Amino acid sequence: MTLVETQTDVVRLENVSKAYGSGRNALLALDRVSLTVRQGEFVCLLGASGCGKSTLLSLVAGLDQITGGTLDIGGRKVSLMFQEAALFPWLSVAGNVELPLRLQGMGRGERRKRAQELLEIVRLKGFGDKRPHELSGGMRQRVALARALAQNADILLMDEPFGALDAMTRDILHDELERIWREQELTVLFVTHNVREAVRLGDRVVLLSSRPGRVIEDFPVLHPRPRRIDSPEVSGQAAEITDKLRAEVARHAG
Query: Which pLDDT tens digit goes with each residue over 9-41?
Result: 999 999 999 999 887 788 899 999 999 999 999
- The predicted structure's pLDDT at residue 1: 36
DSSP string of 71-125, one letter each residue = EE-TT--EEEE-SS----TTS-HHHHHHHHHHHTT--HHHHHHHHHHHHHHTT-T
Provide, rounded to the nearest whole percent, the portion of the chain with pLDDT above 70: 96
Q: Confidence band (pLDDT; 50, 70, 90) for 4?
A: very low
- The predicted structure's pLDDT at residue 253: 65
Specify the pTM: 0.91
Query: Which pLDDT tens digit goes with each residue over 89-104?
Result: 999 999 999 999 998 8
User: Are 63 and 12 spatial neighbours (Cβ–Cβ below 8 Å)?
Assistant: no
What is the spatial order of strands in the sheet that 78-81 belongs to?
Answer: 78-81, 155-159, 187-192, 42-46, 204-208, 215-220
- Classify residue 185 as left (phi > 0), alpha (psi -120 to 50) or beta: left
**pLDDT beyond 90 at 8:** no
Q: What is the DSSP letter of 136?
A: -
**pLDDT beyond 80 at 6:** no
The more confident residue out of 177 and 252 is 177
DSSP string of 21-80, one letter each residue = S-GGG-EEEEEEEEEEEETT-EEEEE-STTSSHHHHHHHHHTSS--SEEEEE-TT--EEE
User: Are 205 and 219 spatial neighbours (Cβ–Cβ below 8 Å)?
Assistant: yes
CA angle 37, 157, 234 (to 5 degrees): 70
**pLDDT beyond 80 at 179:** yes
Query: Amino acid identity of 145?
Result: L
Mean pLDDT of the chain: 91
What is the Cα–Cα distance from 190 to 204, expressed in whole angstroms?
A: 10
User: Are 203 and 223 spatial neighbours (Cβ–Cβ below 8 Å)?
Assistant: no
Query: Which pLDDT tens digit goes with each residue over 149-174?
Result: 999 899 999 999 998 888 899 999 99
Max Cα–Cα distance, the chain, nearest Å: 60
- Compute CA distances 136 → 119, 166, 168, 239, whole Å: 15, 11, 13, 32
3-state secondary structure of 126: coil
- The predicted structure's pLDDT at residue 22: 80
- The predicted structure's pLDDT at residue 243: 93
What is the Cα–Cα distance from 171 to 229, expressed in whole angstroms?
A: 8
CA angle 14, 245, 243 (to 5 degrees): 135
